[in-house]
């Protein structure tokens, strides 16, 4: 029982330090300059698209579209990958709703790649890699919120994309709720463990489709 108490104390301290470090990260975040050539902009969903197209998923989509047009004006020609699976079985995927918004904002449909299978950040990264093919070896701009950037970066690196520039959809000064940071304090190490188990099993020969549930 004493050893269990020590382990619990260690985990609580580690969790507190991680959440505190992430608080410092979001408060001191400085956006990197996105310079071409950029092969693709990957926009990560965050829950169902609201009817008014606002909310976090709408905000991220608009940020990705803004970046797309800035790069086009600079002479670049990136793909726009919209990534997010279904929340409800009888509704379109989040990626499909994001595509509809992007098209309404002026993005040509043939420049959009819809990734509508993913149920997690790890799957966002893995499925985007598969859809991009050879283009995944170029520079990839990943659009998400500040609090989610560390987990998104590690997920895309894990999937095999190394030339990444992370883009904050909520800018540098938008307030970040503690509940988002506290959630990330659990999700980030959980993602690392799930990604490790998935990688080990697929390396040992397990079919990828049979192990996708581990990273869902």
What integer is the mean pLDDT of 33-48? Answer: 91
CA dihedral 22, 25, 26, 30 (to 10 degrees): -160
Binned at pLDDT 50, 70 and 90, residue 71 comes out as: very high
Helical ranges in the chain per DSSP H? 2-27, 55-73, 94-104, 121-132, 149-159, 178-203, 208-211
pLDDT tens, position by position, 170-183: 988 888 889 999 99
Show Cβ contacts of residue 26 under 8 Å, excluding neighbours closer than 6 positions: 146, 147, 176, 181
pLDDT for the residue numbered 1: 67
pLDDT tens, position by position, 134-169: 989 999 999 999 999 999 999 999 999 999 999 999
In sequence order, the β-bridge partners of residue 144 are 168
């Amino acid at each position: 029982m004493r050893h269990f108490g020590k382990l619990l104390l260690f985990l609580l301290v580690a969790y507190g330090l991680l959440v505190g470090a992430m608080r410092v990260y979001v408060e001191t975040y400085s956006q990197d300059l996105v310079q071409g050539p950029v092969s693709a902009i990957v926009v990560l969903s965050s829950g169902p698209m609201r009817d008014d197209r606002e909310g976090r998923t709408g905000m991220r989509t608009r940020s990705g579209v803004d970046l797309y047009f800035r790069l086009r004006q600079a002479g670049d020609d990136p793909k726009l990958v919209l990534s997010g699976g279904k929340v409800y079985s009888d509704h379109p995927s989040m990626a499909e709703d994001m595509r509809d918004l992007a098209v309404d904002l002026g993005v040509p449909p043939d420049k959009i790649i819809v990734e509508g299978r993913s149920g997690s950040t790890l799957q966002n990264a893995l499925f985007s890699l598969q859809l991009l093919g050879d283009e995944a070896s170029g520079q990839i701009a990943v659009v998400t919120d500040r609090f989610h950037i560390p987990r998104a970066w590690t997920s895309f690196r894990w999937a095999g994309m190394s030339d990444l520039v992370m883009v904050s959809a909520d800018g540098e000064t938008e307030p970040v709720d503690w509940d988002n940071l506290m959630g990330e304090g659990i999700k980030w190490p959980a993602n690392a463990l799930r990604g490790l188990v998935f990688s080990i099993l697929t390396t040992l020969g397990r079919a990828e489709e049979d192990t996708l549930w581990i990273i869902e």
